[in-house]
Structure 1
Amino acid sequence: MTFCVALLGGSFDPVHHGHVALAELFADLLQPDQLRVLPARPWQKGALQASDADRVAMLELAFKDKPFPVLLDLQEIERGQPTYTVDTLRALRAELGPDASIVFLMGADQLQKLDSWREWHALFDLASLGVAARPGYELASDKLPPAVAQELSARLATPDAVRNSPHGKVCLAHTLAVDISATRIREALRSGADASALVMAQVLDYIQQHNLYKN
Structure 2
Amino acid sequence: MSRRCIALLGGSFDPVHEGHVALGNYFAKLLFPDELRLLPAGNPWQKQGLQASPEQRIDMLRLAFGGMSVPVVIDRQEIERRSATYTIDTLRQLRADLGPQVSLVFLIGADQLLQLHTWKEWDHLFDYAHICAASRPGFVLDEAHLPVPVAQEFARRAGTPEQIRDCAHGLAYVATNLAINISATEIRAALQRGAQPNSLIPPGVLDYIKQHHLYQN
Residue 65 of structure 1 deviates from its aligned partner by 2.8
Equivalent-residue separation in structure 2 for 1:78 and 1:137 (angstroms): 35
Match of 2:120 in 1: 118
Report how far residue 67 of structure 1 moved: 1.6
Query: Which letter maps to 1:9?
Result: G
Q: Kindly provide the amino acid, as one letter, of the partner of residue 56 in structure 2.
A: D
Calculate the TM-score normalised by the size of structure 1: 0.96
Any idea what the Cα deviations from partners look like across 1:22-59, whole Å, max 9, x if unmatched? 00000000000000001012125742011111101100
SS for the counterpart of 1:167 is coil
Report the counterpart of residue 204 of structure 1 in structure 2: 206
* Residue 154 of structure 1: how far off its partner (Å): 1.3
Separation in 2, partners of 1:139, 1:20: 23
Distance of 1:142 and 1:16 partners within structure 2: 29
Task: Give CA-to-partner distance per residue, 1:172-205, whole Å, 9 cap, x none.
Answer: 1111111111001101100011210110100000
| Percent identical | 56
Residue 141 of structure 2 corresponds to residue 132 of structure 1: no
Gaps of at least 5 residues in structure 1 are: none
Find out whether 1:23 has 2:24 as its counterpart.
yes
* Residues 201/116 of structure 1: CA separation in 2 closer, same or farther (3 Å cut): same
- Deviation per CA, 1:67-122, whole angstroms, max 9, x where unpaired? 21100001011123322000000000001111110000001111111111000111
- TM-score normalised to structure 2 length: 0.95
Aligned with 1:113: secondary structure? Answer: helix
| Residue number in structure 2 paired with 1:55 | 57
Task: Give the distance between the partners of 2:143 and 2:3, measured in 1 at CA.
Answer: 30
Aligned equivalents of 2:67, 2:59: Cα separation in 1: 14
Against the structure 1 CA distance between its residues 98 and 133, is the aligned structure 2 distance closer, same or farther, given a 3 Å change threshold?
same
Contact 1:38 1:72 (C-alpha < 8 Å) held by counterparts: yes
Q: Which residue of 2 aligns with 1:152?
A: 154
Q: Which secondary structure does the structure 2 equivalent of 1:152 belong to? A: helix
Aligned to 1:79: 81
> The residue matched to 1:134 in structure 2 has which SS?
coil
In structure 1, distance between residues paired with 2:11 and 2:140: 20
Determine if contact 2:158/2:173 at 8 Å carries over to the other structure. yes
State the 4+ residue runs in structure 1 displaced beyond 4 angstroms. Answer: none
